[in-house]
Amino acid sequence: MNALGRHILVEFYDCSPELMNDVMHIENSMVAAAETAGATVINSTFHHFSPYGVSGVVVIQESHLAIHTWPEYGYAAVDLFTCGDSVDPWVSYTYLKEAFQSGHGSSMELRRGQLSLLKRNDFNLETLRDATAKTIEADGSITRDVWFTERDENIALSLKHTGNQLYKKDSEYQRVEIYETLAYGNMLTLDGMVMCTQKDEYVYHEMITHVPMFSNRSAKRALVIGGGDGGTVRELLRHEQLEEVTLVEIDELVIEACKLHLPETAVAFDNPRLNLLVADGIKYIKECADEHYDLIIVDSADPVGPGEGLFTAEFYKGVYRCLTKDGVMITQSESPRFNSAVFVEIYDTYKKIFGQEKVHCYLAAIPTYPTGTWSFSYSAKGNANPLHFDKEAAAAFSQKEGLKYYNEAVHTAAFALPNFVKELLNTKPENVTDEYSAEPTN
């Protein structure tokens, strides 16, 4: 060669959009493309972005292979850079074109470090070597650095995972996936949004259930809309006072995935007091008898996709009708910091239906949810008040059941709201600004 390296700038067109959004396929293909060309792979680092797009690099002893994809255009931009003449980057090009199911590709090769323009410096290599150093390839392994990223306009959450996806299926409603993350264990995502993880799910599920149960000790019949992971009904069924718990989940794949890979949350699906229905929660509420449930928990995803209809005034009016005269509705009510406009709008809706003084907000810390601060709403049809509860009973229950987050002190403290949250709750939806929101309000 008359140069130190060969650099091919590649554009792949008409690729499979599905494959261009599959971080595992891309990482495996890039590693295989390097190895097929005879390169020695050192490590790989790949990120999947929400809702779509993958970036990554495979570091090889002879330089690197890098990529960024735009699934919505079926397009990938790829760099293939090899040093010396032992590796042919065109072998990698051919491999990737087939792996990505590309209709066609364009490329340009550059010779990097032309020897005619360089002057060699002589030095003693032995003085630069660490005799005890062990290369990563010495034991035949590489370092894999594969990341899932849930990204919104201004913020993102990235979690490193093993690169081996445990579950991935598309239902008629959404894509259901489970990743094996290194920090939080198995993680359920719906359409690329984090729903729960093994290591922090207990925060959400304990707070959405035990707060209403200890402020309404006469409740006998409960309904959960959504919550196909099983965590909410698991916590409800700890309470022997409940004679029946009905779970209405629209997507049976969520239940299937969690039974397989989140057994901690799906542990109660065979409980004889559970009535499990794979059905549309909106339709179920429309057909529900008046004053049938003492407690209704809306355990919904964010207001997109199949969860969008669970964030309407019509739906909440139906929930109100289905509650007994002393019944309570609990919802996950988004993050006041993440999207202030949605937070304010849904509380304004609750207050118009249940009454200004009957709606209460409480908070919990959930590290894998946007901003880490998450809210729940407590809306009473009668005179139930979340701060009027049996503290001794709550303390004994927390100890007996081995709860990891909820206790009598946390119950009370959750309703101590920061000033900015109080301000938001007293703001009309049309007056919300970006002052507190991590996302644009308009």
State the pLDDT at residue 1: 65
**Catalytic: which of 29, 55, 63, 398?**
63
C-alpha span between 335 and 332 (Å, rounded): 9
Determine which one of 22, 200, 251, 299 is catalytic: 299
Q: Does the global pTM surpass 0.75?
A: yes
Establish whether 300 is an annotated binding residue.
yes
- Ordered by start, the domain boundaries in the chain are 3-113, 147-197, 200-431
pLDDT for the residue 156? 85
Per-residue pLDDT tens, the chain, 442 aa: give them. 688 999 999 999 999 999 999 999 999 999 999 999 999 999 999 998 877 899 999 999 999 999 999 999 999 999 999 998 889 999 999 999 999 999 999 999 999 988 888 888 776 656 655 555 444 444 556 778 888 988 877 788 999 999 888 999 999 999 999 999 999 999 999 998 999 999 999 999 999 999 999 999 899 999 999 999 999 999 999 999 999 999 999 999 999 999 999 999 999 999 999 999 999 999 999 999 999 999 999 998 765 444 455 668 999 999 999 999 999 999 999 999 988 888 999 999 999 999 999 999 999 999 999 999 999 999 999 999 999 999 999 999 999 999 999 999 999 999 999 999 999 999 988 888 777 777 766 6
pLDDT of residue 140: 57
CATH code for 200-431? 3.40.50.150
- Residue 294 among known ligand-binding residues: no
What is 147-197's CATH number?
2.30.140.10
pLDDT at 306: 47
Known active-site residue 292: no
Residue 174 annotated as binding?
yes
**CATH topology for 3-113?**
S-adenosylmethionine decarboxylase (3.60.90)
| 27 Cβ contact list (under 8 Å, min separation 6) | 44, 46, 56, 58, 144, 146, 163
Residue 105 annotated as lining a ligand binding site:
no
Containing H/E element for 323? Answer: strand 323-332
Q: Is position 290 annotated in a ligand binding site?
A: no
Of the listed 68, 79, 326, 348, which one is catalytic? 68
Q: Is 299 a catalytic residue?
A: yes
- E-strand stretches of 182-268: 185-190, 193-197, 221-226, 244-249
83 tagged catalytic: yes
**CA 161 – CA 178 distance, rounded (Å):** 10
Structure tokens of 75? 């397009």
205 is in an annotated binding site: yes
Predicted confidence at residue 431, as pLDDT, reads: 84
Q: Which residue has the tokens 């032995």?
A: 126
- Strand ranges inside 54-129, DSSP E: 54-60, 63-70, 75-83, 104-114
Is residue 85 flagged as an active site residue? no
What's the length of the chain? 442
- Confidence (pLDDT) at 134: 47
